[in-house]
Structure 1
Amino acid sequence: MEPQKELHIPSEEIYEKPKIKKPNTNKKQRSFKPKSWKPYLYLVPAVLFIFLFIYSAIFTLIYSFTDWDGINNPNWVGLQNYQEIFSNSVFITSFINTAIWVVVSLIVPVGLGLFFSVILQDVIGNTIFKNVFYLPYAISLTTTGIIWSFLFSSSGFNELFETLGFSEQWIRNWLTEPPYNTISMIIASVWQSTGTNMILFLVGLQSLPKEPHEAAMMDGASKLRVFFTITLPLLKPFTVVVVGMALVNSFKVFDIIWVMTQGGPYRSSETLAVTMYRESFVLNNLGLGSAISIVLTILIFILSWFYLRQTIVKED
């Protein structure tokens, strides 16, 4: 018998463990290359805009406590400008007109936009109607004011009513008699803003799921009940956008009023935005105009905050 060979197991010293390279901490960190700053250049316009906005807001706030004509040195008057805003009959009229614009803008163009969007949703060839309703929004506010100034002149609706044999109650000076001047300008604004509200609601209606509507119809629910219980709640995100836009735009409406009446007659159709412009750049009361702008900004901020807060809370 051959002698059994001993198995020779190599010692661990023969097999060296793989060496793990440790990172060299002594190397200097890479310096920033010029290319690494390139993406930050896109932020420059936004940063400049925010800086200019904050600077102008602080500047306006400071000068709202002064009596300044834009040329001579401003005189510190404290709260005198704010006291005049809430005591002068002209400014009270501006507050009332602004409130009328806000209420009507939140009801009429938003309601009409929703109404037309529901009607045109399933209409064949609705693209033509979309363009017809949206066309006024593509026209500038100044052009809209000129068009409706002619329509409310003696050669416009008055001549039409007279030709049709309407009573004398329908024939009047629409742009020079309060409150018909404010009503006339609101009609022009509604004509222009209804189309964009309709388009936004149409986008929302086309993005809604069809299953809840089909299930409700199968259960025997009427179209009116389906609209108020299913469609309208599902449209809430789009309604928030439309109402928010209408709220802000109604506070800062200026172009149509200035073109059609310039706030007249006797400043009876001015809103806060028109009064701010007149006091600042026509009458050179920049201190008072700054105070009006601060009041207008605070009103928009408070109402927008309450509106968005209530909307978010209800969604939660």
Structure 2
Amino acid sequence: MDDTPQVGIVGAGGIAPPHIEGWLALGAEVAILRRTGADALGERYGIRIVDTLDELIAGSGIVDIVSPTSSHLDIALAAFAQRRHVVCEKPLAVTAVDAQAMADAAATAGVRLFPAHVVRYFAGYQQVHEEIGGVGTLLELTFRRTVAAPASAWFFSPDAGGGIIRDLMIHDLDQALWLAGPVAEVSATQDPPTADEPPVSAHVTLTHTGGAISHVRADWAEPGAAFHSSASVVGSAGELSVDTDEVGGAAEGSLPPASAADPYREQLADFLHAIRTGREARVTPADGVAAVVLVDAAYASLEAGRPVRL
């Protein structure tokens, strides 16, 4: 590909600025699809605004999807049809079936699909992953994530591609898979069971095939609440932990705390290097699909009121 990446952004919500800033820092030429909020982003960052999706895809080597989850599949398929690489915000799709369809379409087209699970690029979580072999047999993992609840109504509706487990907890479901491996059983609770405003809390217990248990909690708090996330890993020979309150505090709104190495830029740099070299990125299409499989199982557990076997 050309030395100057040509990137087309689809989506103009709260997660768009970190992606735009990351691409610009990497020397990319960035365009954004015209939709609500895009004009302000175009003026803020000096990026080109494109009127149609077809035009955006045609002018891009990489399409970066940061739009609502329910739109991911159709946009990705349109990009793959023009043999464009795709970066897609988590979760890949509303269902694991659709997520797998995205992965399969990318493979068929001979292009790359990169699920944007940015927590894998946070220094503290990376360190836990690198050092986990030193704790012996994994016994128990605990994850906690709290943010101010989103403002858009679709985030609260699982049927519309939202829901706290699908939109927020998926970060830590992916971490549980990254650290402890495949899962055999999923059990989920949520308080309240259905909700269209905060506070909302969900708890998912994962039984890994290797015997470890992961406890994963996510909370959508009242507007203005500070971001916080933490993880701990207990093994037969020791334990590891990471806590964002101990590494720089919380940034404004629901974005993770700032650090010396911006995880969004690190994530996009990894994807770009993977395209240029042909190697795997830190997060693969299979990783993105596996996280959505756990989301599907968690919602099935909520509906059935019992654990779900995978």
Q: Give me the TM-score of the superposition, normalised by structure 2.
A: 0.24
Structure possessing the higher radius of gyration over alpha carbons: 1
With a CA cutoff of 8 Å and minimum separation of 6, indicate the structure with the bigger relative contact order. 1
**TM-score (ref. length: structure 1):** 0.24
